[in-house]
Amino acid sequence: MGGNQSYIYSVPVTEKKEGETAIYRHVNYQQEIVKYPNEEIQNLQDLLINSHSKFKDREFIGKRDPVINKFTYKTYGEEFEDAKAIGSSIKNLNLSYQTNEYKNLNLRLIGINSRNRIEWSTVDWACALYNFTLVPFYDTLDPETTSYVFEQTQMTTCFCSQQSINLILQVPKTYNLRNIVSFDDLEENLIEQVKKAGLNLLMFKDLIQQGKQQMQEMPKDIKPDQVFTFSYTSGTTGLPKGVMLTHRNFVSIIAALDEKDPNENDSMLCFLPLPHSMQRIFNAVCWYTGTKIAFFGGDIQKLKDDLQDCQPTLMILVPRLFNRFYEAIQNEINKLKGFQALLVKYAIQSKLHNLTTKNQYHHILYDKLVFNKMKQAFGGKIRLALSASAPISTEILNFFKIVLGCPIYEAYGQTEGMGLEFCTSRYDVKAPRTVGGICGQLEMKLIDVPEMNYLSTDKNELGESYPRGEICVRGSSVFAGYYKDEEKTKEAIDGEGWLHSGDIGCLWPSGSLQIIDRKKNIFKLSQGEYIAPEKVENIYCTARGVQEVFLYGDSLQNYCVGIVVPNPKEIKVIAKELNIETEDLQELCNNKDIIQFYQKTIVEKGKSCKLFAFEQAMKIYLEPKSFISLDICSSSFKLIRFQAREHYKEIIKQLYATQ
């Protein structure tokens, strides 16, 4: 597929104002931003009923059957009937908590606390069909945060897995919670613990049977602005905020899919946590298109097996996982010798050249000899992939485009904007340097941030206009506000309806956006230089043997320090090269020669990516444990900075204390 050097994403639809750019819209939606796929679909109930009429007999949603060790699927019609049964039981047993105490919003709240599974989706459908508002918990939330959500929502019922029931029983106070609906059969001792906690225990399978025997009519008056779900943000800066997302938010994303064209012949592995807005969006996309959904088994060590067995054609991952796959493939490539090593080297160089100059994903010879084997690790049938939630390096993005032989979209957005605010195009050769253009359900502008010297009047070295400023969006997928937090809502959305991101962007002549800085997570060194740590960390994670990085800068110091998690396999290879005999990970991380090697490697990588000297980590500590295992990452795999800072407080002091 050839590339278009002059691909246009968005165009201005107003004149520029003082202190901000013009307002930009997607090139295909200049007259009006989109709200609905069509007039018949204005909420998620409409969507499900419409798609059920088309796909009711098709295999739709499945999981691995432990007996035959293969994925088996329910039809769209079977899932639809189960969802109606659950919705009916919720109504029959009065399980939702009805409230209008906040801004007179009429809400019927239902909680869910579980890892991804088919039953999760069934409850989601039930809420869409019967106008309940679903409140999902990340299954990794600590007891304090879980208690906070119970307090704020006052929910009376929560659907749970066995594991989540055990966690809820550890929560100090569950406030108005009365009912637990268990997805799993429970042992007697756990049943007794639930009863002892004063909670009524119901079984999910019983609710399906009871609901089918006493089916309730679905409501006919669900408004597009009705709140469909809360999304409690990952809490990187403290207690999470309850983001209220409406039916319109979801259907407008589907209306703006454009070239991202899943259909009933596609399949997707549901891998990211369902409370994560991006996974939730693409599940809803599958509801609309009839795309088959296979549920990840939950064991990260068996992710490769799930991919190979369900053979998805669509894949949605976060950069941290792309980075892990990249490390694993590179380690295998580094083991090659002689002709085989030369073949792979030239194959990669050739395909990268064709990709970046012609936007070509395939090569008849090299795909057959080299890349098809790599592609099999992902099931062998991927035709579209998407990276979301955090920045991904151009090096890794392009590598997977040539490995998978397909477009990989890079999406950007906040949970408050449904996560999919900007997206790249398969037709744009220059896409890896940007996050693409504004999606069709929104419009955007940049506003000046003079304290950081980012202005809408900025020009490049040739005198051409390259506006810079804080990214703001407005439109159909902007959230309804934070539940019971009007102050934070007003901080996020201004009086004209613009959602302020806190991110700094540069607008290219193509109408595409490059993320260049962050207003919220920046820190300033003693000499007055601002640092955007995520940019540096993203670069360092592409250096040899590096798995994770936390960059920190003390405002009283003139340099940065870093916590580096090495790849546990590659550090042992590096040790052998340095004639270090031990394979103990802790000993390797404490070894001065190893530390020196990593320090030199990341600084060289930073230089090659044109980092300024003040952005580089001048001293590092090697951490043998992953950030995820240390519980300093959110459920969407983002580093929680204030927790990381607290965790490494003494080590940071030592790094700054040593000369």
Please say whether the beta carbons of 116 and 270 come within 8 A: yes
How does pLDDT run across 472-525, given as a tens digit for each residue?
999 999 999 999 999 999 999 999 999 999 888 999 999 999 988 777 677 778
Domain assignment present for residue 253? The answer is no
Give the pLDDT score at 303.
Answer: 87
Backbone phi and psi for residue 310, each to the nearest 5 degrees, phi listed first: -90, -15
CATH of the domain at 584: 3.30.300.30
Report pLDDT for 53: 97
pLDDT single digits (tens) 606-639: 999 988 898 999 999 999 999 988 988 876 677 8
614 residue type, one letter: F
Are 239 and 145 a contacting pair, CB within 8 Å? yes
Evaluate whether 183 touches 204 at the Cβ level (below 8 Å): yes
Q: Is 123 helix (H, G, I), strand (E, B) or coil?
A: helix
Q: Is the pLDDT of residue 153 over 90?
A: yes
Q: Report the alpha-carbon distance of residue 310 to residue 300 in Å, rounded.
A: 15
Asked whether the predicted pLDDT for residue 3 surpasses 80, the reply is: no
pLDDT in the model for residue 659:
64
What CATH code is carried by the domain that includes residue 467?
Answer: 2.30.38.10
- Position 2 scores a pLDDT of 39
What is the sign, positive or negative, of the torsion defined by CA atoms of 144, 637, 535, 427? negative
pLDDT of residue 417: 96
Assess if residue 95 is contained within a domain.
yes
Render 132-151 in DSSP notation, one character per residue.
-EEEEE-TT--HHHHHHHHH
Number of structural domains (the chain) is 4
Name every residue whose Cβ is closer than 8 Å to that of residue 571 and which is 6 or more positions away in sequence: 545, 585, 588, 589, 594
Q: What is the separation of C-alpha 474 from the centre of its chain, rounded to a whole number of angstroms?
A: 21
pLDDT at site 302: 86
Q: Environment class of residue 53 by beta-carbon count within 10 Å: exposed (0-12), middle (13-18) or buried (19+)?
A: exposed
Could you say which of 519, 540, 562 is where a domain stops? 519
529, 513: one domain: no
**pLDDT for the residue 394:** 84
638 and 542 housed in the same domain? yes
Structure tokens at 497: 């309806």
How sure is the predictor about 1, in pLDDT bands with cuts at 50, 70 and 90? very low
Per the model's pLDDT, the better-predicted residue between 430 and 30 turns out to be: 30
1 within a domain of the structure (yes/no): no
Please indicate, yes or no, if residue 432 is contained in any of the structural domains.
no
Confidence of residue 534 (pLDDT cuts 50, 70, 90): confident
CA distance 481 to 244: 6
Instruction: Clarify whether residues 163 and 241 are in a common domain.
Output: yes
Picking from 390, 424, 458, the residue at the C-terminal end of a domain is 424
Looking at residue 643, its pLDDT comes to 84
**Residue 32 pLDDT > 60, yes or no?**
yes
| Per-residue confidence (pLDDT) for residue 299, from 0 to 100 | 84
The pLDDT assigned to 393 comes to 79
Judge whether 435 lies within some domain. no
| In the predicted structure, residue 539 carries a pLDDT above the cut 60 | yes
Same domain as 213, residue 69? yes
Name the strand (E) or helix (H) holding 517: strand 513-518
- The pLDDT mean for the chain works out to 92
Q: Does residue 100 sit in the same domain as residue 24? A: no
- Average pLDDT score over residue span 126-138: 97
State the DSSP H helix or E strand holding residue 242, giving kind and residue range, or none if neither.
Answer: strand 242-246
CB atoms < 10 A from the CB of 221, how many? 7
- CATH number at 238 reads 3.40.50.12780
pLDDT tens, residue by residue, 71-99: 999 999 999 999 999 999 999 999 999 99
The confidence band for 296, taking pLDDT boundaries of 50, 70 and 90, is very high
One domain, residues 302 and 185: no
The reported pLDDT for the residue numbered 395 is 87
Q: How many CB atoms lie within 10 A of CB 607?
A: 12
Identify the CATH number of the domain in which residue 276 sits.
Answer: 3.40.50.980
- The three-class DSSP label of residue 567 is coil
Q: Are residues 457 and 595 in the same domain?
A: no
Q: How many helices (H) and strands (E) does the chain have?
A: 22, 29
Residue 184 has pLDDT above 90, yes or no: yes
Average pLDDT estimate for 555-578 = 92
| Cβ atoms < 10 Å from Cβ of 343 | 14
User: What is the reported pLDDT for 604?
Assistant: 95
Residue-range definition of the domain harbouring residue 84: 44-246
Shared domain for 148 and 180, answered yes or no, is yes
Instruction: Pick the most confident of 21-35, 221-235, 392-406, 447-461.
Output: 21-35
* Residue 436 contacts residue 415 (beta carbons within 8 Å): no
Are 267 and 383 in a shared domain? yes
Q: Select from 429, 428, 422 the least CA-distant residue to 444.
A: 422
pLDDT in tens, 202-255: 999 999 999 999 999 999 989 999 999 999 875 444 578 999 999 999 999 999
Identify the domain boundary among 519, 538, 571: 519
Whether residues 531 and 514 share a domain: the answer is: no
In a domain, 317, yes or no: yes
Instruction: Kindly state whether residue 251 falls inside one of the protein's structural domains.
Output: no
Report d(CA 315, CA 386) in Å as an integer.
6
Rounded alpha-carbon distances, angstroms, from residue 356 to 233, 360, 385, 429, 432: 36, 8, 18, 6, 9
**Exposure string for 548-580, b = 16+ CB within 10 A, e = fewer:** bbbbbbbeebebbbbbbbbbbebbbebbeeeeb
Q: What is the mean pLDDT of residues 341-351?
A: 96
Rg (the chain; Cα; Å): 25
Q: Give the number of other CB atoms < 10 A from CB of residue 495.
A: 6
Q: How far is CA 282 from the centre of its chain?
A: 11
The pLDDT of residue 4: 43
Q: Do the beta carbons of residue 438 and residue 9 sit within 8 Å?
A: yes
Residue 616 carries which side chain, given as an amino acid letter? Q
- DSSP state, residue 603: H
Same domain for 231 and 116, yes or no, is: yes
Interatomic CA distance for residues 430 and 420, integer angstroms: 20
Mean pLDDT confidence for 188-203: 97
Residue 144 has pLDDT above 90, yes or no: no
Give the DSSP per-residue string, 341-397: HHHHHHHHHHHHHHHHHH-----HHHIIIIIHHHHHTTTS---EEEE-SS---HHHH
- Statement to judge: residues 104 and 171 lie in one domain: yes
User: CB-based contacts of 418: which residues, under 8 Å, 6+ apart?
Assistant: 245, 249, 250, 252, 253, 277, 281, 477, 479
Map tokens 């900025």 to a residue.
458
How would residue 646 be classed by pLDDT, with cut points 50, 70 and 90? Answer: confident
In a domain, 398, yes or no: yes
